Amino acid sequence: MKELFARRSIRKYLDIPVTPEQIERLLRAGMAAPSAGDGREWSFLVVQSQEGKEKFMSAHDASGAVKTAPLLIMVCARFREEVYAPEGFWVQDCAAAIENMLIEATYLGLGSLWMAIYPRQHRIARIRTLFGIPEEVIPFGAVAIGVPARGKPPIDRYMADYVYLERYGQRLDGR
């Protein structure tokens, strides 16, 4: 699947909106992710307004990309019945949802950037306050999405040194 290797972090976008259809596709892709016990302990906050983007940037110290991005989607952990929450599976659920959106964005010809919120407590607290996120919901991460100002080459980071066969430390390639 060549889209996967074409995905790169994009930090400058053109002034072209992401269409409502594309936004729905991105959200569907996020929600198509696997989740522990099919718990789907997530929720999505779509931000497109200038005010919303500025609020996000004021709360996140590595979010310069949002300046030009037309769209920001935050993924939050929303604990359902608290079955899986105490064990912390929600972290993996939210990460899988974000990665799905990044891949779908690439497939749609869009660029994207994953920006972590969790586990930085100051980011979580600020974003909660600024966006009216309730205490029992954890803003986990955000994705900036838009048409890239310029492309980046696809990447293949295969690291044979860290691929083992049968026993940890025994390389798959026999070297």
Ligand X SMILES: Cc1cc2nc3c(=O)[nH]c(=O)nc-3n(C[C@H](O)[C@H](O)[C@H](O)COP(=O)(O)O)c2cc1C
Report residue 21 CA to chain centroid gap.
19
Q: Does 79 engage in binding with ligand X (CB under 6 A)?
A: no
- Between 33 and 115, CB nearer to ligand X: 115
- Between 65 and 108, CB nearer to ligand X: 65
- Between 83 and 155, CB nearer to ligand X: 155
Gap between the terminal Cα atoms of the chain: 28
Q: Does 114 engage in binding with ligand X (CB under 6 A)?
A: yes
Choices 6-14, 83-91, 103-111, 131-139 (CB under 6 A): range interacting with ligand X: 6-14
Q: Does 62 engage in binding with ligand X (CB under 6 A)?
A: yes
Two tokens at 61? 């110290």
Choices 4-12, 51-59, 70-78, 79-87 (CB under 6 A): range interacting with ligand X: 4-12
Q: Does 80 engage in binding with ligand X (CB under 6 A)?
A: no
Q: Does 9 engage in binding with ligand X (CB under 6 A)?
A: yes
Q: What is the dihedral of CA 121, 127, 133, 138, to 10 degrees?
A: -30
Q: Does 172 engage in binding with ligand X (CB under 6 A)?
A: no
Sites of contact with ligand X (CB under 6 A): 8-9, 11, 62, 65, 113-116, 155
